[in-house]
Every structure is written in C-alpha cells, then in structure tokens.
A and B are shown apart, each in its own frame.
Chain A
C-alpha cells in the first residue's frame, strides 16, 4: 500500500516535470517563429540615409543595461532617465527603456546576461562578450546588421571602426553578415610603460633607463639608497589586456610574447608562450628574483598590495599602462608632494625600440535581438554616442557630471589611436604649432588641466592626473619608439573550450616555478612538450585554420 503511494507520487512528479519542460520548449519555438515572422525591414531600405535623422515615429528600445557603480547623478536623475538619455530621446525620437540594470562591479552584469541568454529572454539590445556572441549567432538569435551598418553609419563612427584596420567589424562578422556592433577600446591601454620616481633618479644622478640592464641598475640604486622595494609584480605576470605591474615588456624585450598568438618568421601561427625566446626571458627573470630585484612574494601579491607600496612611497619603479596617474600615482603624490613620476619606453628590444603587444581592439559586442523592427534606431544612437563621448558631453551635460556609462548603451567607442592622437594634439598647442581652438572635448580638457597644473602644481589632483596621464604617459606612445606586435587571434577555438583551462594552469604553474627558481630554466622544454601533447598542437592547427578561413 505504502509503496504504491510512493510510486504514484513519483510518477506524478515526473509528469509535472515533463509537462514543464514541454511548455518551455513551446515558448522557445513560438519565440523562434515570431522572430522569423518579423523579418527586418532594414534590408528593404536602400542607399545611404541621414545617420542622425530622428525616427519618423517614436520607437522604443528595451535594453539590458550595464550601469556604472557610481553613476554620479543628482537626485531626480536616474541611470535610465538623465540629461544624456533625455537628449538622445529628444533628438532621435527614441524611447529607451531599461529592461533590467546590473552594475559593472564584479560579475553582476555578466551573470545577468548569462541569465537572460539561458532564459531565451533577450531585450532588444544587450552588450555581450565574444563567447556569448558566438553562442547567440549559432543559435540564430541575432538580427543581421549588415545593411543597417552600410546605410546608417556616421562618418566619424565609421572612421573609428576603420582605425582598427578592419579587426573590429571582422570579429563581429559571421558568414559575411555583420551580427553586432563591436566596441573599440584604445590600443594604448594594452601597452606597458616603465614608471619611475623621477625625483629619486635625479637625486641619485642616474641616467634615464633604456635597456633592461639600466632598469636593473636603477632598481638596485633605489633599493640601496632609498630603501625602496624592487620592481613591483603581482600574481598575474602577463596580461594581454590591462597589465598593471606585469612583466610583459621584459618578455617582449627578448622578442617573446607570452599568451599571444603570433606569426613566426615562416609565417606560421604559433603560441607565444612556448617559443624558444621565452627561455631567455625566463632565465633573466629568474636571476632578477634571485638577486632580490623582484620581491619573490610577487607570486602571492594581489594588485591592491602592490598599489599600497606605491602610495606609501616604498616603490619607485614598475611597469604599467599610460593611465596610472589617474590611479594610484595621484594618491602617491597626494601623500608625498615631492614625488615626481616619469614614464619611459623601456626596456628596449634588440632593434632599439620598446616592443609591446597589442590587445584585441574589440571584446564586447552590442547585439540586436532577431526580429527587432528598428535596428537603424540602434545605430543612430551609437552614431550620436560616439560624437558625444568625443566631446565628453560638452554642450549637453550641464547639471550632471559627465559619465559615458549614463548614455543609453554601455558600449565604449573610441578611435584605436585615440589617446596618442589627443596627447599629440595638446602637445602641438603647447609647442605653439597649433591654435588652441583646434582642440575639442577631451583634448581641450587635457589642455586646461595642463594650464591649471602648470599654474599651481599638484594643487588640483584631478588636473595633475589628466595632465600626466596624457602628456607623460600617452604622449611617448605616439612617437616612433614603440614596436607594436599585433596578435593574430584573440578568440577561442572548439578544442580550447575543452582543454584551455588545463593548459592555462600548466602554463601559469610552469612560468611561476621557473621565475621563482624552484625549477631550472630547462624545465621549460618539458613544459613545451606537455603543452603540445595535451591539446596545444591541435589548438594551434585550429587557430591556423580559423585565420586562413
């Protein structure tokens, strides 16, 4: 008797469950059908259109919105409804509705996106990463944007996309169809400079560091005479994107490009981390750790701990991107107003230039739900977003402080050489070779910051930061002292999805062990063997195939 009840219960629950899953299937199918029914009418629109013309009738765009952690809005304004969004609405006759918002802190936004994707419940517009883009394309859930792009893109946005030599648009194109509007992040962000305490350098009468040996000499002097720590480092030795305190340029000085897919001399695709040049670089790093030039505790350090050393005046030499004056160098200078920071293109490679890797120009993608009736409204918004961001909201934002994330879509769009270009423009005004009124937007702000900081040095830290980030950091990247290495592949292949985690772990462990000296440099050879046999060779073939496609 008892048993039969139990069976009934079980059967009952299974029935309920299967009913549930069928229902889910049906809705998914319906959604698919609807999508097909609502074939886009953009394809029917022919020829170039005014990229800024308002929509004939008001249209609504629902957005899965990534919001700034600190949107800096006065009371009454919201992320969804503020000076910027109102301006867009008015100019373009578009209503922007946030389906949901998630902040960019931690994983909140990414998780929210995953959730919408799994639920098959896409807003009209959402920003996804490359892997999610590929998934969405494979599931055929995205609008074809090829025609919309051709007909509606503004000249300035097109120029920005063209500044990546086609990389951006190619990475969003599948079978000849444009499936997303990619972001364009400034190339300068991935290039590391050597940041040095210039006042110490002057005090100790040391020449500007150029080669790796110079860097070592400076570090030794700082340690001995200033009681400073060695070259800063963190757990992350190398990072192709943002490599604060990374050793990337030490590797590239030896012409080694870890974590980057590059072409070798025969034009074959190879993975940078397993190239023979790595051995030399690793041996050098091992020596530097042995000599105490790099604190061996770098392996357990998080970036915050390294930053602490800078702010407390205990570090005088390390690698980092052009924007370090915004943080943490501004804090360091507030603590000690005598501190002067300078950036150098060092260490030099064999050709006398600083070698540096470049990151993928695009890593996030604005996609439009398949079946959305007005994809051109989306592109019109982007056209305007680009222009307004170039002007830093000038003429629009009066009450609110400008924050680009408060625009309708959270997609960063800039020229690939944005920072270098602006720094050069400002410098030529300072030199007197150009007129002040040639400057606009951010460049104008930089010039104002320069004047303000020159007048009363280090009083207004915001001005100090902006002046130094551009005129100390970005400016030297604009010269011809840099030799840039572009990777040939920044995506994932099929086999990578299964085996990359394991290879990555192998790589991380090996590099750290060799640098720390717990394994000899020759251990590198057995790492290469292992890497190849555990799927690396197969992945290399796939990468080669994808590039030649």
Chain B
C-alpha cells in the first residue's frame, strides 16, 4: 500500500515534464503531415489538399538531392573527425604545460570564439579570406598567387571545416581536460619508475585513460551527423559554391521559407529526421557496446 502511494508521488513529479514534452515535443510532430500536402498556410493542415507522396517523389527526382545529402555528410563527417582530433591534441598539450597560470590563459583564449555568433565570424572571415585579406597576403607571399577561398568548390568545404574547428576546439577541449584530471596520478609515478619518457607516458597512460571519453563523444556525435551547421554555411555561402556547400538545412531554408514551398521543405526536413533517428539508434548501440554508456 505504502509502496503504491509512493509511486503515485513520483509520477506526479514527472507530470510537468511530461506535459512539456507533449506540448512542445509531441504535438508539433503532427506538423509532419505538411509533407504529404500541398500546404497553404491560410487553409491550415485541415484545409490543405493531400497529395500523398508527391513531395517525396519530387525530392528524389531533383538532381540536387544526392549532392546535398553528400555535401551534408561530407562536411559533417570531416567536422566530426576534426572536432575530436584537434581538441584531444589541444587537451594533451595543455595538460603537459608545466605552468598552471599560462594553462588557464591559453584555455580562455582558445575558447573565446565559441561565444561569438556565426554572423559576426562570417563577416570577419569574408574579410580575412578576400583577395586583399590577410590570409591571401600570406598565400601570395608563399605561392605567388591568391586563392578565391569562398568562391571555389574545392576550398569552400575546407574553409567551413577549419573555421568550425577554430571556433569550437577550445571549448570542446574542456571535456577532455576534465577526463585527464580523472587519471590516477599513481599510474604516472609507476610509469616513471619503469623509465617511461614524456611521450611514452602520453601513449601508455594518458591516451588509454581518456579513450572511453573519446569513444563516447565520437559515437554521440554520430547522431548529429546530418547537422552540418546551418548558421555557418548560410552566412558564408553564395551561388558559386552551392555545388559543394549547399546542405540539407540551407536547402530547406531556401525552398521552404524563401520560396514558400512548405510541403517540399517539410518532406526534406523529415527525411533528415528519419536518417538522424537511425543514426542515433546506431550510435547509442555503439556507445553501449564500447563505452558502456547507457541511459536505461
């Protein structure tokens, strides 16, 4: 009896959260119906004409679909790899710094860009990468010719990935720095007694120590793989680099919000959600298997 009433209390405590999820998480899902409609805002979902899978069929007929999917995956996978490699490297370097004060300095400086919006950073980047910009001055000094970074389909994804790394690596390194502090110092002492040098200690003690964190972060990122970064690309791209820079989000923005094609935009968007769901599912299984990470 007592046990039962306890359960009721717990359920009551859950209720506000559930209400929130239902209102803001579940009810909006019904909006996906738009993907199967020739949606006209004035008429609403109930009044618009149903067109079945027309929007999806058209989506797969577009030449762009494959290219956009490829761009999205290409850019975000590159980002994913770099966003693990660079922060881990940074964390290791910071960890090896002897002076604690300079460590904090570095840390603060490298995570500052994280707090700037892409609108601001894109302005700075376009100036830096223009023909008269500082980057091209260096490039010209070294190779004798300038590079049209934001107008070239070869360079654009690279600029996107590198600038994303530049913005976020300091902030992402924090997690790895935290993981580093959790390594038992006696392991280092033992390694020292065995005659290990600095590099050997990194290889045999530090890296294995943070490996679970690396695996966890990577696998969790798989769920994000279709988010290649709307803010960033929208602020940097132009028709010249649609070919290499147009991602699902920017495409949905252009056709949905700029051209009023809500049906098609929702179809593309829900396709993204579906693939994202599958990827999250996979990454959750992987995380459970290799990093022992479980929610339930």
Residues of A within 8 A of B (CB): 13, 17, 21, 24-25, 28, 114, 117-118, 120, 131-132, 135-136, 138-139, 141, 235, 295-297, 299-300, 305, 497-498, 500-502, 504-505, 508-509, 512-513, 516
Determine the residue in chain A with the shortest Cβ distance to B131: A297
| B151 and A297 contact, CB distance less than 8 A | yes
For A21, the chain B residues whose CB sits under 8 A away are 46
For A114, the chain B residues whose CB sits under 8 A away are 41
| A135 and B44 contact, CB distance less than 8 A | no
Taking the closest CB of chain A, its distance from the CB of B223, in whole angstroms, is 25
Determine the residue in chain A with the shortest Cβ distance to B45: A21
For B42, the chain A residues whose CB sits under 8 A away are 117-118, 120, 132, 135-136, 138-139, 141
Please count the residue pairs between chain A and chain B whose beta carbons lie under 8 angstroms apart in the complex: 86
At the interface with chain A, which of B166-174, B259-267, B275-283? B259-267
- Beyond A17-B27, A139-B42, whether A512 also contacts B261 by CB under 8 A is no
| A505 and B40 contact, CB distance less than 8 A | no
| A505 and B239 contact, CB distance less than 8 A | yes
**Bound CA–CA A25/B264 (angstroms):** 25
- Beyond A114-B41, A296-B148, A502-B62, whether A497 also contacts B260 by CB under 8 A is yes
For B254, the chain A residues whose CB sits under 8 A away are 501, 505
For B27, the chain A residues whose CB sits under 8 A away are 17
| A509 and B243 contact, CB distance less than 8 A | yes
For B26, the chain A residues whose CB sits under 8 A away are 13
| B41 and A135 contact, CB distance less than 8 A | yes
| B261 and A299 contact, CB distance less than 8 A | no
Determine the residue in chain B with the shortest Cβ distance to A20: B27
- Beyond A498-B58, A513-B240, whether A25 also contacts B260 by CB under 8 A is no
- Beyond A21-B46, A132-B42, A135-B40, whether A299 also contacts B240 by CB under 8 A is yes
Partner of A297, one of B30, B40, B148: B148
Mask, B64-104, CB within 8 Å of A = 1, is 10000000000000000000000000000000000000000
Return 30 A-B CB contacts under 8 Å, by A number.
A13-B22, A17-B27, A17-B30, A25-B46, A28-B44, A117-B41, A120-B44, A135-B43, A138-B40, A138-B42, A295-B131, A299-B151, A300-B150, A300-B151, A300-B238, A300-B240, A497-B260, A498-B261, A498-B264, A501-B254, A501-B258, A501-B259, A502-B62, A505-B239, A505-B254, A508-B239, A508-B242, A509-B242, A512-B238, A516-B151
| B40 and A235 contact, CB distance less than 8 A | no
For B52, the chain A residues whose CB sits under 8 A away are none
User: Taking the complex as formed, is B208 at the interface, i.e. its CB lies under 8 A from any CB of chain A?
Assistant: no
Residues of B within 8 A of A (CB): 22, 26-27, 30, 40-44, 46-47, 58, 62, 64, 126, 130-131, 148, 150-151, 238-240, 242-243, 254-255, 258-261, 264
For A135, the chain B residues whose CB sits under 8 A away are 40-43
**Bound CA–CA A328/B42 (angstroms):** 40
Taking the closest CB of chain B, its distance from the CB of A157, in whole angstroms, is 28
**Bound CA–CA A297/B242 (angstroms):** 16
For B58, the chain A residues whose CB sits under 8 A away are 498
**Bound CA–CA A504/B242 (angstroms):** 12
Taking the closest CB of chain A, its distance from the CB of B76, in whole angstroms, is 21
| B43 and A139 contact, CB distance less than 8 A | yes
| A297 and B130 contact, CB distance less than 8 A | yes
**Bound CA–CA A141/B41 (angstroms):** 13
| A235 and B238 contact, CB distance less than 8 A | yes
**Bound CA–CA A56/B26 (angstroms):** 52
Most interface-central of B58, B126, B243, B259 (chain A CB within 10 A): B259
- Beyond A297-B131, A300-B150, whether A131 also contacts B64 by CB under 8 A is no
| A512 and B46 contact, CB distance less than 8 A | no
